[in-house]
Chains A and B, each alone.
Chain A
Amino acid sequence: MNALKRLYRRQEVIPSCKTFATSQWTSFLHFRSDLLRNNFMARTIAMLSVHPSRGLVDEKFRVEVENLPPACPVTLHCLHRSEDQDHWEAFGHYCSDHSGTVKVSEDESLGGTYSGREHMGLLWSMRPVPGSRRGLRLRKTHVDVPMTLLISVYRGHLTAGFRELPPVASVVAERWYMAPGVKRIAVEERGVTGTFFIPPGPGPFPGVLDMWGGGGGLVEYRSALLASRGLASMALKYIDPGDTPTDMRMGYFETAFQIIQDHPQVISDRVGILGLSFGTSVALTVAAYSQISRPRCCVGISGSHAYPINRPVAELFGEMGMNEEKMKRDEEDNVIMRNLILPIATDPAKKVDVGRIECPLLLVNGDDDQNWATTESAEDIANMMSVAGNKHLLTTLTYPKAGHLIEPPFTPHIRASNFIVQHSKEKVIMLWGGEPKGHAVAQEDSWKRILNFLKEHLCIEPTLVPQAKL
């Protein structure tokens, strides 16, 4: 027994997991005595696997460890180095079962950056490693190459020091925004800047005009993913983060919509609009007022009907800037913008007349959104549509404990991050809100619902077709 204890200490395997019952302790001792008899020959080698090893970012993966000693405490760790060279990590504490197996999709995490039974916790709970720069946000710029993850298993339940300790095993997983065969086409025509993603095949395909929010730039990854799911999608640039916003009006968005309709591989009467944050204001404005662009359906994520695009965008941002006294700061000096549009205006000129919308509308919000008062807006939208008689077109999804940045599934939750305020060019840390688990649920569930909504309204149901003769 003394020899066993010496070996036990040298191997540094301390059974600390709570489920270590008596019968498991007995089998553990039996295993260790095997080691004493025939140390190198009886050595078991843990096998770590991730499946699929190359998947789209909205797909789940299974992480499993086999051939561990039974009831062995281990830490599963996920590491990613972003395009900006920051390191992000997540980890969960597990205990192998009687057969020496850990299955992340089925087992309970006993602690770490997530806990409980969380199939994809190793992704959505990622956060910058200790010592990282403040205010980071994980976003993919180059969508034609994958995110690479290093997934490792360590002995014991660790919370730090992953770089210094050798893991028991590691595997690499790739996460892609673009499916094979998706075409990426830069758009610079009729004064419009964007990137078009076309699914593989002859088409024609339904189309989507995809807009992000006030942070500006050309953000491609959601469009790439939509095209990977069969929808031709154009990511639109309408705010240049570096420059003063130009005299951009609704005409710009109508032209963008027309470019999509005109593409030979797009079904011209099956084009929808998807917007997030300020992009929702744009989407609602076009849906309500445009005589030229008739979207088949509309999705507004974390947005509002405030600030209709009835004036140049620059002017709207300027007006936001004049309401600075409504911006608050939390105890960490993060900026809270949600009160900017509160109380919801009663003056119809200050909000989109949603009673005019004639297409199905899906609103996706988090009830902890600290950036825009989206739940209050959604309530007002519902009231307006009820009065106008088009409320049957509206579906609202409000997710508890979710914040503003409702991204594709398994994207790490960002409660606050660096942001340049458009009108003043001030660098702040913006509070987006939400807590990791609630936000992860919102992202995963809303993405499925958004895809179903787009497909339902953009893909024609089978009409009567003569039956094939066999």
Chain B
Amino acid sequence: MALQGPMLWLSVHPCRGLVDEKIKVLVHHAAPVQRLTVHTLFRSEDGDDWEAFGHYVSDSAGAVDVSEDVCLGGTYSGHEPMGLLWSLRPVPGSRPSLRFRKKDTGTPMLVTISLHQGFLSDSFTERLPLASRVVERWYMAPGVRRVELTEGGVTGTLFLPPGPGQFPAVLDLPGGGRSLPEARAVLLASHGFVTLALNYLNPRRTAGGEYHVGNDYFQTAFSVLQTHPQVIRERIAIVGLSFGASMALGLSVYSPTIKPSCLVSISGSHVQPAGGSLGDIFAEFKKNEKNTRYDEEKRVIWHDLLLPIPSNPSKKVDVGQLCCPLLLIVGKDDQNWPAEESASDMKEMMEMSGNGHLLTVLSYPDTGHLIEPPYSPHCRSSNFINAESREKFVVLWGGEVTAHCHAQEDSWWKILDFLKKHLYYGPQSDITSCT
């Protein structure tokens, strides 16, 4: 076959990267001032197709640089170097209410990036692109080891960075749902932390055991990390999302044995029976079920179940007693938990108590509940199975795409900086004595 006409070069760098790394998409030798569409396609492990696309016009040299140029429309617009990834959404005709989740974190996401002539908005798979490339997006850095853990009745997944150690560690408490999300935990290990993603909502139980695990479960998990030969026992943090954040707050204050070096709470709340357990938190939700609201598409809004923020101290974690630095990450459009209201109340409590200097609050406008690792597609609502009742809902998480994805990117690096500061760098001058 002989070719007539120009030959386009499409390059994507890096072709293999961690999911939190930026990519650079470049087009060379297009015609000058040519309309082009850059399209990304990803097929999930469940067989659903996700896509994103942006409209660009090449410059007088026939070049496009997605990191520098302005996108004129598509699933994102404006100057958005990573819009091709974070604006991924299920293709038209997909099953409804999907949530983006990588189950096997040891293998990469394979994303096809294609270049099409003109401004296209649909039917991408029916047209032949001008060029395409494949990129691998990894959660797991080379050398990170994944170990399924069952120890002392505790189950979860342990991720170990390469090397002899010893390393600081993170106890990762993910949010609600049926399966154990590992994405954040493996990414933290890829950044040098031994991380235990704890299965506390669906653990393997012995016959006759209680439905919800008690606080001793978390204490055992913390102790498993402390006694691991590759962990520096004095350098362990807790990172929690949603339910996990709430547990982290309560345990850090009331548990006699859980004393983290620092705490990250994402989309969490301190509203729970003081000194209570996971079961108590669920009971609180059940009590306030009447506060459930629905949007115009009948999606469930659980935001009010913990409202109003109580003034009675026995109904919330006394964060005034917290001894370690706390990073609160909340979305102002969280439709699932009253994370912002809780954050304001926590700030007040800590300032009154005199430990306000330990607190950092990052509150992101137009950002919802599911603040995930960077460049993950935003999920405004999705199918959800209640861990306790096994009922199926479509839950509204909240957030507007662009703002939410910016928040995911910004908060991730701040979480990493926070963890490195308190776990890797020097004497922990922020720790005040609690005796």
Q: A52-B17, A176-B16, A180-B110 are in contact. Are A470 and B57 (CB under 8 A)?
A: yes
Other-chain contact of A267, B1, B142, B232 (Cβ < 8 Å): B1
Q: Residue of A at shortest CB range from B6?
A: A462
Residues of the A chain whose Cβ atoms lie less than 8 Å from the Cβ of B5: 460, 463, 465
Interface size, B (range):
35 or more
User: Is A270 in contact with chain B by the CB < 8 A criterion?
Assistant: yes
Q: How far is the CB of A14 from chain B (nearest CB, A)?
A: 21
Of B29-37, B82-90, B276-284, the one with at least 4 CB within 8 A of chain A: B29-37
Other-chain contact of A181, B134, B138, B161, B162 (Cβ < 8 Å): B134
CA A176 to CA B5, docked complex, whole Å:
32
Other-chain contact of A170, B6, B133, B164 (Cβ < 8 Å): B164
Q: Residue of B at shortest CB range from A41?
A: B427
CA A155 to CA B354, docked complex, whole Å:
42
CA A269 to CA B32, docked complex, whole Å:
25
User: Is A454 in contact with chain B by the CB < 8 A criterion?
Assistant: no
Of A90-98, A122-130, A198-206, A240-248, the one with at least 4 CB within 8 A of chain B: A198-206
Residues of the A chain whose Cβ atoms lie less than 8 Å from the Cβ of B234: 40-41
CA A227 to CA B179, docked complex, whole Å:
40
User: Is A140 in contact with chain B by the CB < 8 A criterion?
Assistant: no
Interface majority SS (helix, strand, loop, mixed), chain A: loop
Q: A40-B234, A47-B192, A172-B143 are in contact. Are A467 and B3 (CB under 8 A)?
A: no
Residues of the B chain whose Cβ atoms lie less than 8 Å from the Cβ of A264: 1
User: Is B376 in contact with chain A by the CB < 8 A criterion?
Assistant: no
User: Is A259 in contact with chain B by the CB < 8 A criterion?
Assistant: no
User: Is A280 in contact with chain B by the CB < 8 A criterion?
Assistant: no
Q: Is the CB of B424 within 8 A of A47?
A: yes
Q: Is the CB of A171 within 8 A of B33?
A: no
Q: How far is the CB of B228 from chain A (nearest CB, A)?
A: 15
User: Is A186 in contact with chain B by the CB < 8 A criterion?
Assistant: no
Of A53-61, A300-308, A341-349, the one with at least 4 CB within 8 A of chain B: A53-61
Residues of the B chain whose Cβ atoms lie less than 8 Å from the Cβ of A34: 427
Interface majority SS (helix, strand, loop, mixed), chain B: loop
B112-151 toward A: CB 8 Å interface, digit per residue (1/0)? 1010001000000000111111111010011100000000
User: Is B426 in contact with chain A by the CB < 8 A criterion?
Assistant: yes
Other-chain contact of A200, B32, B133, B168 (Cβ < 8 Å): B133
Other-chain contact of B132, A47, A173, A201 (Cβ < 8 Å): A201
Q: Is the CB of B16 within 8 A of A52?
A: yes
CA A67 to CA B427, docked complex, whole Å:
12
Q: Is the CB of A152 within 8 A of B163?
A: yes
B249-269 toward A: CB 8 Å interface, digit per residue (1/0)? 000000000000000000000
Q: A41-B234, A45-B168, A171-B163 are in contact. Are A54 and B1 (CB under 8 A)?
A: no
Of B7-15, B289-297, B300-308, B315-323, the one with at least 4 CB within 8 A of chain A: B7-15
Most buried by B among A56, A266, A465: A465
Residues of the A chain whose Cβ atoms lie less than 8 Å from the Cβ of B34: 465, 467-468
User: Is B428 in contact with chain A by the CB < 8 A criterion?
Assistant: yes
Other-chain contact of A202, B35, B132, B167 (Cβ < 8 Å): B132
- CB neighbors of B among A166-208 (8 A): 166-167, 169-174, 176, 179-181, 200-202, 204, 206
User: Is B203 in contact with chain A by the CB < 8 A criterion?
Assistant: no
Q: Is the CB of B1 within 8 A of A467?
A: no
Q: Residue of A at shortest CB range from B29?
A: A462
CA A172 to CA B425, docked complex, whole Å:
22
A29-51 toward B: CB 8 Å interface, digit per residue (1/0)? 00000100010111111011000
User: Is A459 in contact with chain B by the CB < 8 A criterion?
Assistant: yes
Q: A179-B15, A181-B112, A201-B132 are in contact. Are A172 and B142 (CB under 8 A)?
A: yes
Q: Is the CB of B428 within 8 A of A171?
A: no
Q: A47-B192, A180-B134 are in contact. Are A268 and B1 (CB under 8 A)?
A: yes
Q: Is the CB of A52 within 8 A of B7?
A: no
Q: Is the CB of B16 within 8 A of A172?
A: no
Task: List 8 other contacts, CB 8 Å, given A42-B426, A467-B34.
Answer: A170-B162, A170-B164, A172-B143, A201-B132, A462-B31, A463-B5, A470-B33, A470-B57
What would be 5 A-B contacts, judged by CB atoms less than 8 Å apart? Answer: A34-B427, A150-B143, A463-B4, A463-B6, A468-B57
A positions within 8 Å CB-CB of B: 34, 38, 40-45, 47-48, 52-56, 67, 148, 150, 152, 166-167, 169-174, 176, 179-181, 200-202, 204, 206, 228, 230, 264, 266-270, 459-463, 465, 467-468, 470
